[in-house]
Amino acid sequence: MSDFIISVIKCKKMYGKIDKTLRSSQLMDVKEVLRFADDLVFAKTGEHLEDLQEAILAGVWEGKKYSQIAEASYCSEGHVRNVASKLWKCLSNVLGEEVTQSNLRSTLGRRQVFIVSSNFGNDFLHIGNVNVCTDTQSPEVTNVRSQTPTPQPQQTPTQPHIDLGDAPEIFSFYDRTPALATLQTWILQERCRLIALLGISGIGKTTLAVRLLDQIKTNFDYVIYRSLRFSPTLNATLTNLLQIFSEKTDIPQNIETQISQLINYLRQYRCLIILDDVQMLFSSGQLAGQYRSGYEDYPLFFKLIAEVCHNSYLILNSWKKLRKIAKLERENTPVRSLVLGSLGIAAKEILREHKLSDEDTWDTLINTYQGNPLWLEYTATMIQELFGGSVSDFLECDAVILSESLQAELDQQFQRLTQQELAIMIQLANENEPIALPQILQAMPLSPSNLLNGMESLGNRLLLDAKGNGKTTFFSLNTVLKKYVKNRYTI
Ligand SMILES: Nc1ncnc2c1ncn2[C@@H]1O[C@H](COP(=O)(O)OP(=O)(O)O)[C@@H](O)[C@H]1O
Ligand SMILES: [Mg+2]
């Protein structure tokens, strides 16, 4: 008996079992539909569904009109109709029967059998393609039988292509459970294409991002990390990224073509890309948010990643807020930002690693150094070297002591400030209590607009603490920054 006939007989037997199961099973929910359709299309074309195609499928499945889907997807109804028409053709082709907007539920509902089928052992799974057990058997079955099993796109059974460039290896990682959960939800469930991960230097952005890559890598075809610490031009960054996808093809020189080629790859594959140290694209000595000369095309690239439909995700790490991204961030857009704060009590593990003593005083140490892992590492090293590891002795010595390494770390951030920002920092370091804008204005020889711009810029650099009482906002510096400003710019 030929392979084909054996397959058909096996299928028929299976079909009987499945049919019973099917009768007792529930209708697919929208997530299953998307996954099912994506598997089908991937098996046939080697490409995953794009975001808009998924939005159309989900919308139609839930009984929405094209106009509603268009509105929710920020594109024209005509565009939705075009994409939908191609999608129905593709699905019809894959399923061997006509799929339309009006029969989608009934057609896919019947095909639920093939999802249920995965309960019925490997033989069936090997055949594992809807063509095998469709009502209209065709010689295509034999071809399918001889093919290697179809990869399941969501779980990426083949290893993802991982290119972490010069990402640091993570030896210890503590907590960050809420931040990891938020990022995972934004990426895997809410499909946010552009995410800014923000926080002062040393707070743990790189560590968190690399940990996230490791945790969710199996959902992707490509997992990529690149640091922009040496301020590459957009051309250099795009060339570098394009080479990962295709070493052999010539990389275009023109930025526009490079971007469109990259977006094609981002559509074709599920990619998770981290660009770290984005702050290096900004000018020193100018208010926060000014891109360096020659780097002005980066924000356009980021905007396109957010706005164009594709299947990939870009995380941008920066120690200052990205204003243009903040502008794109609205409830219904696939853009988010997360500001990383103190590591909290998990930072005790860092102190433990450094073999410090007097555990009852560790909370004070962590609070003083803002739960910043890097600041705590530097301080713990100093405590170990100069105080034999005794945190109490260290705390008794002075309320805040900054090691040279910690100050050198902060130098890098302060070197980027404008004169007026520095003057504001010095003023705030001088204050014993948090202070409101009118009082700062009174105390400083700055025009209101210069003061406001300076304050806004410092806020974007995440250097200010702000607390409100409902009516007025009061500003201050945290203990470490206050001490640093006093040490470096003696008043
Ligand atoms: N969650 C964490 N658990 C353990 N160590 C951490 C954690 N986050 C950061 N660190 C440590 O703190 C230091 C600074 O972290 P890093 O990720 O480089 O900060 P950033 O990228 O924000 O400047 C690194 O030495 C890192 O090992
Ligand atoms: Mg970093």
- Protein residue with least CA distance to atom 24, ligand 1: 374
- Which-ligand-closest: CA of 227? 2
pLDDT tens digits, one per residue of 262-321: 999 999 999 999 999 999 998 887 777 788 888 989 999 999 999 998 999 999 999 988
For 24-39, what is the mean pLDDT?
66
For 66-79, what is the mean pLDDT?
83
Tokens representing residue 10 in the block: 């096996």
**What is the predicted pLDDT for the residue at 158?**
58
The strand pairing partners of 466, in sequence order, are 475
pLDDT tens digits, one per residue of 209-223: 999 999 999 999 999
| Range with lowest mean pLDDT among 249-263, 269-283, 362-376, 453-467 | 249-263
- Name the residue of 343, 374, 381 whose CB sits within 8 Å of the most ligand 1 atoms, as the mutation to test its pocket: 374
| Range with lowest mean pLDDT among 15-19, 160-164, 298-302 | 15-19
pLDDT tens digits, one per residue of 103-149: 887 777 655 433 333 333 322 222 222 222 222 223 222 222 223 33
Three-state SS letters, the chain = CCHHHHHHHHHHHHHHHHHHHHHHCCCCCHHHHHHHHHHHHHHHHCCCCCHHHHHHHHHHHCCCCHHHHHHHCCCCHHHHHHHHHHHHHHHHHHHCCCCCCCCHHHHHHHCHHHHHHHHCHHHHHHHCCCCCCCCCCCCHHHHHHHCCCCCCCCCCCCCCEEECCCCCCCCCCCCCHHHHHHHHHHHHHCCCCEEEEECCCCCCHHHHHHHHHHHHHHHCCEEEEEECCCCCCHHHHHHHHHHHHCCCCCCCCCHHHHHHHHHHHHHHCCEEEEEECHHHHECCCCCCCCECCCCCCHHHHHHHHHHCCCCCEEEEEECCCCHHHHHHCCCCCCEEEEECCCCHHHHHHHHHHCCCECHHHHHHHHHHCCCCHHHHHHHHHHHHHHHCCEHHHHHHHCCCCCCHHHHHHHHHHHCCCCHHHHHHHHHHHHCCCCEEHHHHHHHCCCCHHHHHHHHHHHHHCCCCEEEECCCCEEEECCHHHHHHHHHHCCC
Q: Where is pLDDT greater, at 328 or 20?
A: 328
Q: Where is pLDDT greater, at 423 or 5?
A: 423
**What is the predicted pLDDT for the residue at 46?**
67
Q: Is 203 in the pocket of ligand 1 (CB under 6 A)?
A: yes
For 88-102, what is the mean pLDDT?
79
- Which-ligand-closest: CA of 198? 1
| Range with lowest mean pLDDT among 126-140, 162-176, 182-196 | 126-140
Q: Report whether pLDDT(20) > 70.
A: no
Q: Is 339 in the pocket of ligand 1 (CB under 6 A)?
A: no
Q: Where is pLDDT greater, at 4 or 200?
A: 200
List domains and CATH numbers for the chain: 3-146 (no CATH), 161-339 (3.40.50.300), 344-401 (no CATH), 411-488 (1.10.10.10)
**What is the predicted pLDDT for the residue at 110?**
57
Atom of ligand 1 nearest to the CA of 349: 4
Q: Is 303 exposed, middle or buried (0-12, 13-18, 19+ CB in 10 A)?
A: middle
- Protein residue with least CA distance to atom 16, ligand 1: 204
What is the Å distance from ligand 2's center to 209 Cα? 9
Q: Report whether pLDDT(44) > 80.
A: no
**What is the predicted pLDDT for the residue at 195?**
96
Q: Is 351 in the pocket of ligand 1 (CB under 6 A)?
A: no
Pairing status of strand 435-436 against strand 313-318: unpaired
Atom of ligand 1 nearest to the CA of 317: 21
Q: Is 381 in the pocket of ligand 1 (CB under 6 A)?
A: no
Q: Where is pLDDT greater, at 200 or 6?
A: 200
Where does 82-182 show beta strands of DSSP type E?
161-163
Q: Is 375 in the pocket of ligand 1 (CB under 6 A)?
A: no
**What is the predicted pLDDT for the residue at 205?**
97
- Which-ligand-closest: CA of 201? 1
pLDDT band at 1 (very low <50, low <70, confident <90, very high): very low
Q: Is 227 in the pocket of ligand 1 (CB under 6 A)?
A: no
Q: Is 371 in the pocket of ligand 1 (CB under 6 A)?
A: no
Q: Is 207 in the pocket of ligand 1 (CB under 6 A)?
A: yes
**What is the predicted pLDDT for the residue at 435?**
94
Atom of ligand 1 nearest to the CA of 176: 1
Q: Report whether pLDDT(464) > 50.
A: yes
Q: Is 374 in the pocket of ligand 1 (CB under 6 A)?
A: yes
- Which-ligand-closest: CA of 211? 1
- Name the residue of 198, 207, 317, 409 whose CB sits within 8 Å of the most ligand 1 atoms, as the mutation to test its pocket: 207
Atom of ligand 1 nearest to the CA of 201: 23
pTM (two decimals):
0.69
Atom of ligand 1 nearest to the CA of 168: 18
**What is the predicted pLDDT for the residue at 38?**
78
Q: Report whether pLDDT(7) > 50.
A: no
What is the Å distance from ligand 2's center to 50 Cα? 31
Q: Where is pLDDT greater, at 418 or 47?
A: 418
Q: Where is pLDDT greater, at 370 or 248?
A: 370
Atom of ligand 1 nearest to the CA of 343: 1
- Protein residue with least CA distance to atom 9, ligand 1: 204
- Which-ligand-closest: CA of 229? 2
If you average pLDDT over every residue of the chain, what do you get? 81
Q: Is 176 in the pocket of ligand 1 (CB under 6 A)?
A: yes
**What is the predicted pLDDT for the residue at 371?**
96
pLDDT band at 241 (very low <50, low <70, confident <90, very high): very high
